[in-house]
Amino acid sequence: MPVSKELLEYQKVDGELRKLEQEIAASEERKKFVQAKKFMEVAREKLESQEAHAAELRNLRDDLQRRVEETTKAIAEYADLEEMVEGGADLAFYKKNAQALLDKLRAVKAELNRLLADVSAASEEYKKIKEQTIAMQKQYKEYKVKFEELKNSRAEEVKAINDKLASIETKISPEIMKYYHQKRKEKIFPIVVPLNGEFCVCGRDFPLAQQGVLAGGNMVECENCRRLVYKV
């Protein structure tokens, strides 16, 4: 592909557009807008996940409370232990059962206390996410307007540059422009660069055979950075 002054001029003007795009992209208005937008995209999923987790913890809590009640009732049956012994019951046997129930009750209560701590932590996390969501909703609305205002304030500049680019593009082959636009989408810039001695701007050296092609006024794609290299 031959290099042309029109292509180099196009890239120069495109550089002005790129600079303008970078200024807008680096603006506080866009940063705040994008931050809120990204948060909002995952906020609902986070809240739903927390709600599901809270429901699971509540079910576990209810089950443990039921077990506490059942064990407490079972222990209450040993309140008349003396009467049972007087009636000929085996004291050692009932004491062993009562102690086992007490141990079970302590274990269940300890588990319940740990679970209640988890419920409290989950509740605080849900509250935190909810508050963040409300704040980000406000930020999203506010900075969406501010970002649009910023883009509108630079719209004439952008249009003027795009009009100039469109005019220059008519003088360049569609094949080269297709390649150029593809590289621009890939965030490569500059796309067309001069050979620096024997090296591309990325530091890759060009073999003599390729340099011979460049000497004829052609461009060669760098195998490393995929830019179009030409020789001045």
Helices (H), 154-232: 155-169, 174-185, 208-215
User: How many structural domains comprise the chain?
Assistant: 1
Q: What are the backbone dihedrals phi and psi of residue 59, each rounded to the nearest 5 degrees, phi first?
A: -65, -40
Q: What is the largest CA-CA distance in the chain?
A: 117
- Residue range 187-218, pLDDT digits in tens: 999 999 999 988 999 999 988 888 888 887 88
Residue 214 lies in a domain: no
Residue 211 lies in a domain: no
Residue 176 lies in a domain: no
Residue 2 lies in a domain: no
Among positive and negative, which fits the CA dihedral 155, 160, 163, 164? negative
| Closest by Cα among 70, 97, 103, 101 to 84 | 97
* Per-residue confidence (pLDDT) for residue 44, from 0 to 100: 77
Query: Helix, strand, or coil here: 9?
Result: helix
Q: Which domain, by its residues, includes 27?
A: 14-171
**From CA 111, how far away is CA 123, in angstroms rounded?**
18
- Residue range 48-77, pLDDT digits in tens: 777 777 778 778 878 878 877 887 877 776
Question: Do residues 54 and 116 touch, judged by C-beta distance below 8 A?
Answer: no
What integer is the mean pLDDT of 36-47? Answer: 83
- Residue range 143-152, pLDDT digits in tens: 999 999 999 9
Residue 216 lies in a domain: no
* Six token digits for residue 204: 């890759």
b/e per residue 130-141 (b: at least 16 CB within 10 A): eeebeebeebbe
**From CA 22, how far away is CA 27, in angstroms rounded?**
8
- In this structure, what CATH number is given to the domain that contains residue 63? 1.10.287.1490
* Per-residue confidence (pLDDT) for residue 87, from 0 to 100: 53
One-letter amino acid for residue 143 of the chain: Y
Residue 39 lies in a domain: yes
